[in-house]
Amino acid sequence: MRATTSIWLSSAPPSLGRPLAEGLDVDVAVLGGGISGITTALLCARDGATVAVLERETVAGTGGATGFTTAKASALQQTKLAQIRNLHGDEKTAAYAAAQLDALDLIEGLVERHAIDCGWQRLPDVTFALDRTQVDAVHAAQEAARAGGLAVHTTTPSPLPFEPPAAVQLDRQAIFDPVRYVRRLASLLVEEGGHVFDHTAVAQVHDGDPCRVVTAGGETVRAGAVVVCTNYPLLDRGAFFARMSAERSYVVAARVLDDPPAAMAISAGEPTRSIRPLLTDDRQRWVLIGGEGHPTGSSKATPERYKALERFARERFDVEEIPFRWSTQDGMPVDKLPYAGRYLPRSSRLFVNAGHQKWGMTNATAGARVVADLIAGRDSRFASLLDPNRVTLGAVPDAAKAQASAAAHLVGDRLTPAEASSAAEVPTGEARVVRSGRFGKVGVHRDDLGAVHAVSLRCTHLGCILHWNDAERSWDCPCHGSRFGIDGQLLTGPASKPLETVEAPQ
Ligand code: FES
């Protein structure tokens, strides 16, 4: 039976957080218990602050992205440096690359100092051309990396089990198990006096002195500073909704008969194929293949995404079996730089560390360093680079496009016709938008056992109409990426409330 959970979560030690049961006063409240939130909290605690992490689900668990990453920590990052160079120039490309290398050192320092058992391994990262159409992109990635001060070199012979038409390599990048790493950081935080609360959703955040964070359970955390470290910033301030899109991508884990490659790698364009070796403690050999990204809420969310990755795995590696597959979601800033710093230009108490654009291991860690520095009142080397309130003129057309797309979904999706007039027309294992008197249209899914699940299709975030995700069997929002289960349960923010369940139209 194939698992639709990540290989990390299938064998992870449990998260030890408990729900917040009563009000609390701290110096820093951190919203979100992924690598971003836990690293930020730990660095703040080591500056002497009292800290509480509030996580809607569990630390590095199924509610976020950390448990679903391939955990490649690299400064090369496919073609990201070329994109940054085009928009921001050589100086910022170099600063971005330096921030990634600094984050790698920070993670490695924590792993070594605390002997964290997370399979940390330095190895090369390769950006390669899957075919001739990607050769120019590899060359652009190479030039941008050189402009950014990285010691890249061409890769011959290839460390991959095939010879790509072009490839560029950066040595001494790293891979690790993200869940074991982050859950150990969380336990260190608790050992050092911090608080970690699982199953503690945040309902409201009030700026002030102190700030007040009110949980869905009605408890209040008063804090000198609040850091929003959720995958997509959950406060309806700061216009992040106009500056960041949400994208889903997919991973399969293949157990292989040969030694996995001695490098991680990623193709330089579409289709994206990310390759990451894994040798487990019991000497099992794995290759993780990722890719097939698309905007959240798109009709491309079909099981075919997994099949394409499995085909690639079987074509390029000696695959024994593919027992794991999973998907994930990333925040993608329009100007290709993450957001770490003050949530609003004049805010001295609200901070954000988000928008890690598929390279969250280093970007979340770099952002944690910036936010901890700002809260401690220190100068921070990468604060201006990652300033959430920057204006990037070159990205204005993309921001306008993202806004127009959200507006089109908000209005246009209401006008599209229903796909069925009653629940009886919904086939087993599928979903349809069904006409309904009171709601206009509702979402109806008939599960594999024939039971019918019906929900309102109005996203509880800002009201866009949800689309069916056939790969994950969820209702996804094309505007800012919120996702809901077949019975309306919240899977992914920025929404903070579940969908209304409704009676299926007969
Ligand atoms: Fe914003 Fe759905 S996530 S409207």
Span 118-145, average pLDDT: 97
* Rounded to 5°, angle at Cα 173 from 171 and 257: 90
Closest ligand 1 atom number to CA of residue 478: 2
d(CA 21, CA 123): 44
The predicted pLDDT at position 386 comes to 98
The predicted pLDDT at position 319 comes to 97
Closest ligand 1 atom number to CA of residue 464: 4
CB 391 within 8 A of CB 335: no
Lowest mean pLDDT segment, chosen from 67-81, 184-198, 238-252, 301-315: 238-252
370 residue type, one letter: V
Q: Is 316 in the pocket of ligand 1 (CB under 6 A)?
A: no
Reported as half-sphere exposure (CB side, CA atoms, 13 A), residue 210 has a value of 16
Closest ligand 1 atom number to CA of residue 481: 3
d(CA 466, CA 474): 9
The first and second tokens of residue 128, run together, are 């390669």
Substitution site in 245, 476, 479 for ligand 1 pocket (most atoms within 8 Å of beta carbon): 479
CB 372 within 8 A of CB 44: yes
d(CA 455, CA 498): 10
Helices 178-191/90-113 angle, 10° precision? 70
Q: How large is the C-alpha radius of gyration of the chain?
A: 22
| pLDDT tens track for 188-235 | 999 999 999 999 999 999 999 999 999 999 999 999 999 999 988 877
Reported as half-sphere exposure (CB side, CA atoms, 13 A), residue 302 has a value of 6
The predicted pLDDT at position 412 comes to 62
Q: Is 479 in the pocket of ligand 1 (CB under 6 A)?
A: yes
Q: Is 494 in the pocket of ligand 1 (CB under 6 A)?
A: yes
CB 7 within 8 A of CB 278: yes
Q: Is 368 in the pocket of ligand 1 (CB under 6 A)?
A: no
Task: Tell me: cis bond preceding 494? Omega within 30 of 0 counts.
Answer: yes
Compute φ and ψ for 384, nearest 5 degrees. -70, -35
Lowest mean pLDDT segment, chosen from 49-53, 206-210, 369-373: 206-210
Report pTM: 0.94
101 residue type, one letter: L
Q: For residues 270-301, b (16+ Cβ closer than 10 Å) or e, as one string? A: eebbbbbbbeeeeeebbbbbbbbbbbbbeeeb
CB 145 within 8 A of CB 152: yes
The first and second tokens of residue 463, run together, are 């009201």
Give residue for tokens 């106009």. 242
Q: Across all residues in the chain, what is the average pLDDT? A: 92
Span 268-287, average pLDDT: 94
CB 344 within 8 A of CB 237: yes
The predicted pLDDT at position 234 comes to 77
Instruction: Tell me how far the alpha carbon of residue 480 lies from the centroid of ligand 1, in angstroms.
Output: 5
Q: How confident is the model at residue 1 (pLDDT cuts 50, 70, 90)?
A: very low
Give bridge partners of residue 169 from the DSSP assignment: 126, 153
